Amino acid sequence: MDQQKTQFVYGLIAGALIGAGAAALFTPKSGRDIRADLMYGAEMLREKGPEWNEKGHEVTEKGREVVAVVKESIGVAREWKEQVEAAAEDVKQELAEFKEQQDAEKEQDKQSATAKETSSNPAVASSAAKPTTPPAGSDKTSNYSV
DSSP one-letter string for 83-126: HHHHHHHHHHHHHHHHHHHHHHHHHHHHHHHHHHHHHH-HHHHH
Residue 61's Cβ-count burial label (10 Å; 0-12, 13-18, 19+) is exposed
Backbone CA torsion sign across 75, 76, 77, 79: positive
pLDDT at 74: 92
Q: What is the pLDDT of residue 93?
A: 95
Write out the chain's pLDDT in tens, 146 residues. Answer: 577 888 888 888 889 888 888 877 777 777 788 788 878 888 888 888 888 888 888 988 998 999 999 999 999 999 999 999 999 999 999 999 999 999 999 999 888 888 877 777 655 545 555 555 655 655 555 555 54
Res 17: pLDDT: 85
